Structure 1
Amino acid sequence: MGNCLNKSQSKDSDSDYHVEFAAGNVKLITTKEAWDQKSEEAKRDGKIVVANFTATWCGPCKMIAPLYSELSEKYTSFMFLLVDVDELADFSTSWDIKATPTFFFLKDGKEIDKLVGANKPELQKKLASVNDLIPQHDNQ
């Protein structure tokens, strides 16, 4: 449901690039060093990382981007990251990304859940269930 598997779609207009992928509290990751820095920050602060592996040419990615940004403002105890699979191709390959979008839920750098595809209800459900794992008044 809602997966982009490759770049065979045409890039017929630059208007496709004006979707705001990194709005709200979403942090755009453009280097491996930035990923490492944010991962360490999340560990230190006791935050769950939600990493969205996406692509600018991917229709389903564009469709779910506004919801992802909205959720980043609702779930402030999480750290929402955005990784462009084309900008960080080698890094994305190391995560075995087969389709975009792919969402990883990480605690202390370890995968605790994963969602492949732009399934809005499932993304919301996974966020709610992972949020239930976090002590609500934990001030680490």
Structure 2
Amino acid sequence: MGSCLPKQQAESSDVNAKLTGGNAHIITMTESWKQKLAEAESEERIVIAKLSASWCRPCRSISSFYAELAEKHPSLMFLSVDVDELTEFSTLWNIEATPTFFFLRNGQEMDRLVGANKDELQKKINRVLISQSKS
């Protein structure tokens, strides 16, 4: 249940190693981010975006849980961004600590969660699923 403050030096561990394929997408370019948001909008899917860093222990600890959620909830789109690879996202999304999770509908922020709190992440996803079924 922690979060990391920004840090310049990265460790070699890959936060996204288990987050590939299916309903989970690793974003490494701004164009890919825009493309996935457009795809989600056209499919009327809500996006859960995890902004993290490879050196962040809480980011690494929640990574496999995030991948499980992506597999469990195919009606949502799960994106993962390393803020050290796409540094402009830290400014664009006002990232003060990692991991930060965004819940987006039509590219607009519905909610956010800062920190690796599995229970709170699950609760917020449940609320998103309820709101999605009502629309």
Q: Is 1:23–2:20 an aligned residue pair?
A: yes
Deviation at 1:17, TM superposition (A): 3.0
Structure 2 unaligned blocks of 5 or more = none
Give the TM-score, by structure 2 length.
0.91
Q: Check whether the contact 2:16–2:80 (CA below 8 A) recurs between aligned residues.
A: no
Distance in 1 between the 2:46 and 2:16 partners? 25
Answering whether residue 5 of structure 2 is matched by residue 5 of structure 1, we say yes
Residue identity opposite 2:56 in structure 1: C
Which residue type is aligned with residue 5 of structure 1? L
Name the Cα RMSD after superposition. Answer: 2.0
Q: Distance in 2 between matches of 1:2 and 1:9?
A: 19
Q: 1:114: how far off?
A: 0.5
Give the aligned residue type for 1:4.
Answer: C
Residue in 2 aligned with 1:105?
103
Partners of 2:116 and 2:15 in 1: how far apart?
19
Distance in structure 2 (CA, Å) of the matches to 1:40 and 1:118: 27
* Unaligned stretches of 5+ residues in structure 1: none
Q: 1:52 aligns with which of 50, 53, 66?
A: 50
Q: TM-score, structure 1 length as denominator?
A: 0.87
CA distance in 2, matches of 1:18, 1:122: 20
Identity of aligned residues (%): 51
Larger radius of gyration: 1
Whole-angstrom CA distance in 2 between matches of 1:117 and 1:21: 19
SS across alignment from 1:17: coil
- Say if 1:21 and 1:62, in contact at 8 Å, map to a contact too: no
Q: Following TM superposition, where does structure 1 have runs of at least 4 consecutive aligned residues deviating by more than 4 angstroms? A: none
